């Protein structure tokens, strides 16, 4: 018998927002082979979700260049689409500019610490 994973786990591995996936995907456990098949030959719905969203928090934060905590501080509580993210990037509100700067500083500090530890 193949080991299965919950839909939420499969969605995370695929980088998609589970509530936007088809009902069958949301309610059916998925085997590793099925997950590999989705990765190798994604159906139209999966390709569309990956391209247009709505996206999970991790993906939204990455696309905006901020942390997941920065999304919360910016008041982003709902999943955003590619168009919505594009609008924010094109005309960034003050909170986004601030969060990008904060995130950049955190990443620089993490890199500095990692560099010190490797000496």
Question: 44-89 pLDDT, tens per residue?
Answer: 999 999 999 999 999 999 999 999 999 999 999 999 999 999 999 9
The reported pTM is 0.82
Q: Which domain does 57 fall in, by range?
A: 53-119
State whether 77 and 100 are in the same domain: yes
Same domain, 37 and 93: no
Q: How many CB atoms lie within 10 A of CB 109?
A: 10
Q: How many distinct structural domains can be found in the chain?
A: 2
* 47 and 6 assigned to the same domain: yes
58 in the same domain as 44: no
Same domain, 72 and 119: yes
31: Cβ contacts below 8 Å, ≥ 6 apart: 2, 3, 4, 5
Burial class (CB in 10 A: 0-12, 13-18, 19+), 57: middle
81 and 106 together in one domain? yes
Q: What is the pLDDT of residues 10-57, one digit of tens each?
A: 999 999 999 999 999 999 999 999 999 999 999 999 999 999 999 999
């Amino acid at each position: 018998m193949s080991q299965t994973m919950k839909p939420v786990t499969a969605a995370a591995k695929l980088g998609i927002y589970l509530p936007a996936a088809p009902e069958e995907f949301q309610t059916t456990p998925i085997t590793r082979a099925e997950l590999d098949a989705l990765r190798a030959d994604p159906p139209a719905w999966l390709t569309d979700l990956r391209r247009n969203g709505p996206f999970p928090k991790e993906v939204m934060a990455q696309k905006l260049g901020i942390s997941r905590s920065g999304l919360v501080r910016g008041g982003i509580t709902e999943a955003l689409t590619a168009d919505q993210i594009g609008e924010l990037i094109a005309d960034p509100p003050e909170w986004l500019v601030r969060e990008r700067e904060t995130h950049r500083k955190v990443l620089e500090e993490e890199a500095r610490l990692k560099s010190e530890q490797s000496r």
